[in-house]
Amino acid sequence: MQLKSSIAILKGVGKTRMQQYEKLKISSVKDLLCHFPVGYINCSEAKTLKELKEKEKAAVEVKILNKKAMKTRNNKYIFKILAQDKEGEIVEIIYFNNAYIYAALKIGGFYKLYGEFSDNFHSKKVLSPLILNEFGFIAKYGLTKGLTKNVLVSNLKQAFKLIEDHEDVLPKSLRVKYNLLNFKAAIFKIHFPKTAQDYYSARKRLVFEELLIWQIGILKFRKQDEKKKCFALKDVNLKEFLKGLPFSLTSAQSRVIEECIKDCSKNTPMNRLVQGDVGSGKTVVAVALSFLFAKAKKEVVLMAPTEILARQHYKTFCSFLNGFGIRVGLLVGGLKKREKSELLEKLKTGEINVIVGTHALFYDDVVFNNLSLIITDEQHRFGVKQREKLKNKAYAAHVLVMSATPIPRTLALIFYGDLNISTIDELPPNRVPVKTFWVTSKKRDSVLKFVLGEISKGHQAYFVCPAIEEGENFKANVLNYAETLKENGFKKERIGILHGRMEACLKNEVMLKFLNREIDVLVSTTVIEVGVDVSNATVMVIENAEMFGLSQLHQLRGRVARSCFKAYCFLVSDFLTKENKQRMGVMCSTTDGFEISKKDLVLRGPGDIFKEQQHGKFNFKIANLKRDFNCAKICRKEAEEILRKDYELKDEENLKIKENVEKFINNSLTVL
């Protein structure tokens, strides 16, 4: 009860404080207790002055010998205090203007100091050291204007007293099984650890709680879906559709389409992830299913993460489906009012069968006649609320997610709950793999010459920079880069730029020009990463390649692997670290996305990979999926076990879990 209360119940927390805390997203007592330190100063071990190296930061215990205050010319004070440690070594302690501490330090008294010690003739010297109550770790916190650490700590100490034993979220059985501290002890030790072990054991327990709630949340969320009944496909016939295709399906594509059809022929909602390397032909899977649903007079929505991609899919869907009398619509942000209201009207009456769009699809004014299939491209992640919004437009719909970054099954299960996975593990025939080279910037000139050569053959080129404009970090940026190209031989070549801060309509215009070959060179940030298909582009140069993850680099170069022309990718990177050499080596030696994703996993761990794929928006307070992946696996197992025994979380020992899971689902869970 107490933990859920507002922090207003704490002494000294009034309106102003509450506002300050609000900035740190703290409103309840529990929020405050879970405002974990961002780091610690290690004062756990007392050293002697003699053993300190020059400029070493350390904690020592000293006895004050004498002290004096000196006034400077501009009326400020310097306080000089002489002290010695137990070996008789002398240290000069200096404070500027801190009369309070000066007065507090008594001659003959013993004090514990923490600071940076430097050599000073025959003694040591330390400026403005911290005075410690006891040796241990000192927590550092994220603070906000007006809220000092002292205030925070004093509020924390008060809040700590309100923790009652029975309020523990983790059942005792789990705490015993995994040797975990109770909540109260963990909270104390995370804020006020005396030893490194205190911190580790506190962290272990708090991470466990967070990941367990997450996993139960994911599992429960999925199960809610499964309970609903939805439309089931009947009398499936794709013959006509397949005859109209300009190519024949690979056997992997056929298999995956079959798998989806099987799911959709049941009246429980499909929940399937289709993964396949860039260029493996995922789109046609979505088109084939859309065909079947449209023929059954049900509507389909396809969500794309960017307007560029939505427009591209719209074109593809039209070209494959219009011939069968299936009507496809496009809903993006920039539509004119009349266009939009016409479109919405047609959706409502079922006149449009397939609607392709971006986030604009979430709005309340979008109403469907009989929405039955939701497809999202490129692992677009929704928050629970967003997804619910879309799903509420249908009573229950089948869900298909397409992703170009393959992940191992065990990982997928942890991140998405019980999700079925189909894999397109085969590329359409006659694909020429992208030749990839790692160069340092010294070789850039010859790379540019090579690019000019490709353009003179009538091809197009991408340049990818990590930044948009000049910043402090000396990374290549789109704006300068486009300028420098002109000075470096790109005189008559038509150069376009593309980045995330441009208006959507401007982005489309540039992309369209590139597609229609009115632009030869596109200098861009990673906004081109997802799905964009310009088959005449044959070369890509990626600057500061060390900045990108392997899977991301693979996605990027996938943009030039879309045709039967020979394609090239140059990774420019001056980083000669062992890790970077290894990474660049992987990129140059394989074009197999699965292989690369596996290497990425080994080199960087799962956490980073998900972050990069924008799976990282988990808002964990303390867990770190890279570091705590093993714990996530354990929590998954325990979550299943808990739900198996008590699905509704009605048992006494699960009540706290239930409460927290509900909060988590509503506030922070993101799902596919």
Q: Which residues bind Mg ion (CB under 5 A)?
A: 531
Instruction: Report how far residue 431's alpha carbon sits from residue 409's, in angstroms, rounded to the nearest whole number.
Output: 27
Instruction: Report how far residue 52's alpha carbon sits from residue 70's, in angstroms, rounded to the nearest whole number.
Output: 28
Tokens of 148: 């000092």
**Out of 96, 110, 200, 247, the residue judged to bind ligand ADP by CB under 6 A:** 247
Which of 406, 382, 381, 440 minimizes the C-alpha distance to 550? 406
Q: Which of ligand ADP, Mg ion, none sits in contact with 218, Cβ below 5 to 8 A by type?
A: none
Contacts of 495 (CB under 8 A, 6+ apart): 482, 485, 486, 519, 520, 521, 522, 523
Q: Nearer Cβ to ligand ADP, position 200 or 247?
A: 247
- Token match 């198996």: residue? 644
Q: Which of Mg ion, ligand ADP, none sits in contact with 250, Cβ below 5 to 8 A by type?
A: ligand ADP
Q: What is the DSSP letter of 279?
A: T
* Nearest-approach distance from CB 287 to ligand ADP, in angstroms: 9
Instruction: State how beta strands 110-120 and 90-96 pair.
Output: unpaired
* Nearest-approach distance from CB 232 to Mg ion, in angstroms: 27
Q: Should residue 411 be labelled a site residue for ligand ADP when binding is judged by CB under 6 A?
A: no
* Nearest-approach distance from CB 257 to ligand ADP, in angstroms: 11
Tokens of 514: 């590139």
**Out of 20, 28, 283, 379, the residue judged to bind ligand ADP by CB under 6 A:** 283
Q: Which of Mg ion, ligand ADP, none sits in contact with 499, Cβ below 5 to 8 A by type?
A: none
φ, ψ for residue 531, nearest 5 deg: 65, -10
Alpha carbon of residue 439 to chain centroid: 29
- Token match 């059942």: residue? 171
* Nearest-approach distance from CB 334 to ligand ADP, in angstroms: 23
* Nearest-approach distance from CB 589 to ligand ADP, in angstroms: 22
Q: Should residue 282 be labelled a site residue for ligand ADP when binding is judged by CB under 6 A?
A: yes
**Count of positions on this chain that bind ligand ADP (CB under 6 A):** 17
Contact string (CB under 6 A) for ligand ADP, positions 426-455, x = contact: --x---------------------------
Q: Which of ligand ADP, Mg ion, none sits in contact with 276, Cβ below 5 to 8 A by type?
A: ligand ADP
Instruction: Report how far residue 353's alpha carbon sits from residue 347's, in angstroms, rounded to the nearest whole number.
Output: 8
Q: Which of ligand ADP, Mg ion, none sits in contact with 284, Cβ below 5 to 8 A by type?
A: ligand ADP
Which of 122, 112, 71, 131 minimizes the C-alpha distance to 92? 122
Length reported for the chain: 672
Q: What is the largest CA-CA distance in the chain?
A: 97
Residue nearest to ligand ADP (CB): 281
Q: Nearer Cβ to ligand ADP, position 496 or 593?
A: 593
Alpha carbon of residue 525 to chain centroid: 18
- Token match 């376009």: residue? 496
Q: Should residue 279 be labelled a site residue for ligand ADP when binding is judged by CB under 6 A?
A: yes
Contacts of 200 (CB under 8 A, 6+ apart): none
**Out of 126, 260, 278, 537, the residue judged to bind ligand ADP by CB under 6 A:** 278
* Nearest-approach distance from CB 313 to Mg ion, in angstroms: 8
**Out of 115, 276, 417, 466, the residue judged to bind ligand ADP by CB under 6 A:** 276
φ, ψ for residue 120, nearest 5 deg: -145, 90
Q: Which of Mg ion, ligand ADP, none sits in contact with 249, Cβ below 5 to 8 A by type?
A: ligand ADP
Q: Should residue 531 be labelled a site residue for ligand ADP when binding is judged by CB under 6 A?
A: yes
Q: Are 69 and 79 in contact (CB under 8 A)?
A: yes
Which residues in 539-598 contact ligand ADP (CB under 6 A)? 562
**Out of 155, 280, 654, 660, the residue judged to bind ligand ADP by CB under 6 A:** 280
Q: Nearer Cβ to ligand ADP, position 536 or 624?
A: 536
Torsion angle, alpha carbons of 22, 28, 33, 34, to 10: -70
Region for 75 from its dihedrals, namely left if φ exceeds 0, alpha if ψ lies in -120 to 50, beta otherwise:
left
* Nearest-approach distance from CB 342 to ligand ADP, in angstroms: 29
* Nearest-approach distance from CB 431 to ligand ADP, in angstroms: 8
* Nearest-approach distance from CB 291 to ligand ADP, in angstroms: 15
Binding window for ligand ADP (CB under 6 A); candidates: 243-251, 441-449, 502-510, 578-586: 243-251
Q: Should residue 305 be labelled a site residue for ligand ADP when binding is judged by CB under 6 A?
A: no
Contacts of 598 (CB under 8 A, 6+ apart): 408
SS3 395: coil
Q: Which of ligand ADP, Mg ion, none sits in contact with 357, Cβ below 5 to 8 A by type?
A: none
* Nearest-approach distance from CB 278 to ligand ADP, in angstroms: 5
Binding window for ligand ADP (CB under 6 A); candidates: 98-106, 124-132, 246-254, 616-624: 246-254
Region for 379 from its dihedrals, namely left if φ exceeds 0, alpha if ψ lies in -120 to 50, beta otherwise:
left
Alpha carbon of residue 562 to chain centroid: 28
Tokens of 7: 């922090």
Q: Are 46 and 117 in contact (CB under 8 A)?
A: no
Q: Nearer Cβ to ligand ADP, position 186 or 292?
A: 292
Binding window for ligand ADP (CB under 6 A); candidates: 207-215, 273-281, 481-489, 611-619: 273-281
SS3 319: helix
Which residues in 96-125 contact ligand ADP (CB under 6 A)? none
Q: Which of Mg ion, ligand ADP, none sits in contact with 247, Cβ below 5 to 8 A by type?
A: ligand ADP
Alpha carbon of residue 8 to chain centroid: 33
Binding window for ligand ADP (CB under 6 A); candidates: 89-97, 134-142, 234-242, 248-256: 248-256
Q: Which of Mg ion, ligand ADP, none sits in contact with 155, Cβ below 5 to 8 A by type?
A: none
Q: Should residue 533 be labelled a site residue for ligand ADP when binding is judged by CB under 6 A?
A: yes
Buried b (16+ CB within 10 A) or exposed e, 630-660: ebbbbbbebbeebbeeeeebeeeebebbbeb
Q: Should residue 255 be labelled a site residue for ligand ADP when binding is judged by CB under 6 A?
A: no
Residue nearest to Mg ion (CB): 531
Orientation of helix 550-557 relative to helix 593-610, angle to 10°? 130
Region for 476 from its dihedrals, namely left if φ exceeds 0, alpha if ψ lies in -120 to 50, beta otherwise:
beta
User: Where on the chain is the footprint of ligand ADP (CB under 6 A)?
Assistant: 247, 249-250, 253, 276, 278-284, 404, 428, 531, 533, 562
